[in-house]
Amino acid sequence: MTYPDVPFPDLPPEQEALFAAAAATYARYRSGVPDAAVRLLADILRGRSVPVLLDLGTGTGQVPLALRAAVPDLAHIEAVDVSQQMLDQARDALAPALDRCTLTLVRCAADAYRPLKPLPGEEAQAPDLITCCRSYHWMDGPAVLKMADRVAAPDATVAIMGDGSLWTLRADWTRALRGLIQRYLGSERRAGTCGSYSEPRRSYEEDLAASPWSDVTEHRILVARIWRPDTVLGYLRSTSFAGAELFGQRHAAFEDEAHTLLHTHAIDGSLVENAVFTVLLARRPGSAS
C-alpha cells in the first residue's frame, strides 16, 4: 500500500526533484548496508512477538530489504520517503521478498510521518526499530526524533547510520576526482542544482542527547569496497554533488576526463574505498533493550 497519493503540501520541491532524478541510478550503483550493521539491527528485532520496522528516507529500500532477509519473522515494514520515484524503486525491490511481511510505502517528509489509524478490530503496529540510513542529514533531525518518540513502541530503538561518500573519502583517487569535479562545478560541494551542501549545525550525537533518545551506543564498522571506473561514474550520477544535471552540456566531457583519471589511479582496474560505516543506536533512558 502507498499513501498518500498526492504530495504533502509542505514538501521542499527542489529536494524531491533531486532524489527523483537519482532514483534509477541509485538503485544500481549505491553500496548496500554492511553485513555487520544488518546483524546489529536484526538482533534488535529478533525475539519480538510482532517485529515492526519504520525506515525513514528509505530510498530504494536497501535497509528493509536487508532486514527482511535477516529477520525471517519480520511482520511489517513502513517505508517513508519524499520521493515517489524512490518509493517506486523500493516497492519493486521489496515486493518479491515480502512473503507474509506487510509493507506500507509512505510519501512524506520524515518529521511529518503519521501512521494510519488501525481499522476497527486491528492492533496498532508501533515500530520496534526506526532506521535512518544515509538520510538523517537531509531531514529536520530534532523534529524527526520527536516524531519517533510519538510513534515508537515503548522499548524501541532508533538507528542513525551512514558512511560518508566518495566526496569525503580521503584517498588519492577520490582527492583527484574531487578536484576534477570542482574544476567543472566550483569549489563548494554542490547539493543538487539549487544550492550547495552545508554541514549540519549540530552533530547527530548532540541531536540525540537533546532528544528523548539520549541513551546512545556507537558502532563503527570498517568496510573495504572495490570500485571500477565505470561503477564510480554510475555512482556519481546518483549523487547530489556530481549528478548529470549539474554539468548541463558539459557532462559528457566531464565523464570522459573522469574515466581517464580513474583509469590512471586504478590497479588492475580496481579502486579501493576504505570506509567506516557508523551506526548510532539510541534508546529512551531506562527502556529495556
Ligand X SMILES: C[S@@+](CC[C@H](N)C(=O)[O-])C[C@H]1O[C@@H](n2cnc3c(N)ncnc32)[C@H](O)[C@@H]1O
The residue (of 1 and 267) whose beta carbon lies closer to ligand X is: 1
| Beta carbon of residue 238, minimum distance to ligand X (angstroms, whole number) | 9
The residue (of 63 and 129) whose beta carbon lies closer to ligand X is: 63
Q: Number of helices (H) and strands (E), helices first, in the chain?
A: 10, 8
**Residue pair 133/55 in contact by the 8 Å Cβ criterion:** yes
| Beta carbon of residue 266, minimum distance to ligand X (angstroms, whole number) | 25
Residue 179, helix vs strand vs coil: helix
Which residues in this chain contact ligand X in the complex, by CB under 6 A? 15, 19, 30, 56-59, 62-63, 80-83, 86, 109-110, 133-135, 138-139
The residue (of 112 and 176) whose beta carbon lies closer to ligand X is: 112
| Beta carbon of residue 82, minimum distance to ligand X (angstroms, whole number) | 4
The region, left, alpha or beta by phi > 0 then psi within -120 to 50, assigned to residue 91 is: alpha
Cβ neighbours of residue 6 closer than 8 Å, sequence gap 6 or more: none
Site of grid cell 550547495? 196
| Beta carbon of residue 58, minimum distance to ligand X (angstroms, whole number) | 6
The residue (of 62 and 211) whose beta carbon lies closer to ligand X is: 62
- Residue 64: what residue type? P
- The DSSP bridge pattern shows strands 157-162 and 76-81 to be unpaired
| Beta carbon of residue 210, minimum distance to ligand X (angstroms, whole number) | 19
The residue (of 55 and 128) whose beta carbon lies closer to ligand X is: 55
Site of grid cell 590512471? 264
